[in-house]
Amino acid sequence: MKTLRQIGERGLIQRLQRLLPRGQGVVVGIGDDCAALRFGAGGKHGDLLLLKTDAVVEGVHFARRATPRQIGWKAMARALSDIAAMAGRPRWALVTAGLREGLPVRFVEDIYRGMAAVAREFGVAIVGGETVRTRGPLWLSIALAGEAGRRAMRLRSGARVGDAIFVTGSLGGSIAGKHLAFTPRIREAQWLARRGFVRAMIDISDGLVRDLGHVCRESRVGARLMVSAIPIAPAAGGSLARALGDGEDFELLFTTPARDAERLMRAWQRAFPRLSLTQIGIITRAKGIRLRDDTGQSRPLHENGYDHFTPSHA
Amino acid sequence: MKTLRQIGERGLIQRLQRLLPRGQGVVVGIGDDCAALRFGAGGKHGDLLLLKTDAVVEGVHFARRATPRQIGWKAMARALSDIAAMAGRPRWALVTAGLREGLPVRFVEDIYRGMAAVAREFGVAIVGGETVRTRGPLWLSIALAGEAGRRAMRLRSGARVGDAIFVTGSLGGSIAGKHLAFTPRIREAQWLARRGFVRAMIDISDGLVRDLGHVCRESRVGARLMVSAIPIAPAAGGSLARALGDGEDFELLFTTPARDAERLMRAWQRAFPRLSLTQIGIITRAKGIRLRDDTGQSRPLHENGYDHFTPSHA
């Protein structure tokens, strides 16, 4: 009898998908950052309803030494980052918290203060949820609803051969602190989509190579990264491997038609002078992800990202 | 420093509500069975978007001996019951599962089969979610989106003095098995609202007296129950106290203008011949809930329902 440890999270999800009922109005179902749904006549300009749930668990997504405000911030910001990845506008959140009875009330209030702070920053109302008792690790599950214009919405499947691959910010070493205090790239994603600069987009939660792998698989393309272009975060200590493999950077990874790349860079620097944007590679017809070094040699990259059940990232 | 155990779930929620950001488009926020939201131009006939999250935890909402299909069924059916309480139509669900790595894959698949079975019965598509690793008790959190006509939607706050109080089915002893296999009253609730029979409605999850207390508080009224009218479930072993106090019956509790009560009973028996409907009391101007016995004596009832943090129901 196989266990979850043996088949990993992706293996489990593949098995579960076959069991799940489908229904009407589903524009995007399982397999992208959010579900996208046709709700009645739609939002303003025929917007789609975006739905996302995201959970954090003590000991997995945060350590015991994290402050309660950090825990709350991270839980909400992760879900916001998924709305950003679709170039959506977040609207309403519901919060479910699994709590031990012995927790100080003040600690729990501070968790909600952390969630409220980032929710408020992006105009999100917290409209429901519940607290449930647990004897195990503390956990929070955020359900987030948003909206996205049918034409502005961006999926993982939109990349085309020849597209330039961009990433915001710098990558790696998030575990040193950024993962508890990052800013979801909501504004940047909406700006990018509104100006037509994006073909495919995802937020980097599993790690650059792994998330680029999601884009390539959904778009049926490959990618070639340039080793000298990868923006390594100071927290990654100069390690290219960490920039490629570490999870939870929550930066935007997207592709742009090659002809627009220069214009994008100029417009970006005016719009977001304090956040870097870097072209790290191009989309290729050949499948798989390759890394090219300064000598022109290239080698295949394995998706050494984070899997929630298998310890391969250790 | 106070703990959750000391202030209880309701005390916690009262404190948290003050901290949470508000936003636009919120027709019903925290404090009813679902949030109700204005999404764009609305659904068909200007429907509102309903959102609800509901979680179950091993050792709290189900015992280790529950089958995986029962666990999945219950998790999804509870959320459906909240949509029913608003007279809404459920549409899409996202499922978050906190799982131990050592669980057999087959066990997890059967949980999802249980969820899928009840979702399919009510036309709900499962469009997303995730699995996360935990070392503690298994948990499932369901996020459910639905729709409700602005005029058909029913809140806890609609009860008026003189209304007749009705309950579907029979009450008490759900823990003996019903809580793992109940049918959410989606069809019945929609029928009731469509025909204009309902002023206020709630589903019985915390226990009859406690949930009636929610309706009375939100409607700023009181209630008088007739002891001989309370429909005691066989599983409650003839115990009136259990019918009044046990949680998780997931029957509908609603109020109807007194002049419509007879017409409702006749129409109900034709529409739902296999599900009983019972008038159990009336809404009063005097606050609080009183129980009247056959001699005409009445006594106040305390809300001996279930609180997720305080052991007062033991």
pLDDT tens digits for range A65-76: 899 999 999 999
CB B224 within 8 A of CB B298: yes
Alpha-carbon span B260 to B109, nearest angstrom:
47
Surface of B (222-281) touching A: CB under 8 A:
none
Q: Cβ contacts (< 8 Å) between A155 and chain B: which residues?
A: none
Q: Looking at residue A101, what is its pLDDT?
A: 93
Alpha-carbon span A186 to A175, nearest angstrom:
22
Q: Where in chain B is the domain with CATH 3.30.1330.10?
A: 21-148
Q: Where in chain A is the domain with CATH 3.90.650.10?
A: 156-297
A26 inside 8 A of chain B by CB? yes
Specify the pTM: 0.92
Report, at the CATH architecture level, how domain B21-148 is classified. 2-Layer Sandwich (3.30)
Query: CB–CB of B134 and A135 under 8 A?
Result: no
Taking phi over 0 as left and psi of -120 to 50 as alpha, with beta for the rest, B206 belongs to alpha
Q: Looking at residue B313, what is its pLDDT?
A: 35
Give the DSSP H or E segment for A53.
Answer: strand A48-57
Report, at the CATH architecture level, how domain A23-148 is classified. 2-Layer Sandwich (3.30)
Strands B288-292 and B222-226 come out as: parallel
Q: Is the pLDDT of residue B87 over 80?
A: yes
C-alpha distance from residue A228 to each of A168, A238, A278 (Å): 16, 12, 11
Superfamily (CATH H level) for B156-296: PurM-like C-terminal domain (3.90.650.10)
Rounded percentage of chain B residues whose pLDDT exceeds 90: 82
| pLDDT, average across residues A207-226 | 96
Q: Where in chain B is the domain with CATH 3.90.650.10?
A: 156-296
Surface of B (54-93) touching A: CB under 8 A:
54-57, 59-61, 91-92
How sure is the predictor about B90, in pLDDT bands with cuts at 50, 70 and 90? very high
Q: How far is A152 from chain B (nearest CA, A)?
A: 16
Q: How many CB atoms lie within 10 A of CB B29?
A: 18
Q: Cβ contacts (< 8 Å) between A311 and chain B: which residues?
A: none
Q: Looking at residue B32, what is its pLDDT?
A: 83
Residue labelled with tokens 């007296």: B209
**What do you get for the CA distance between the two ends of chain A, in Å?**
25
Q: Looking at residue A312, what is its pLDDT?
A: 38
B98 inside 8 A of chain A by CB? yes
Q: How far is B167 from chain A (nearest CA, A)?
A: 25
Query: What is the fold of A156-297?
Result: Phosphoribosyl-aminoimidazole Synthetase; Chain A, domain 2 (3.90.650)
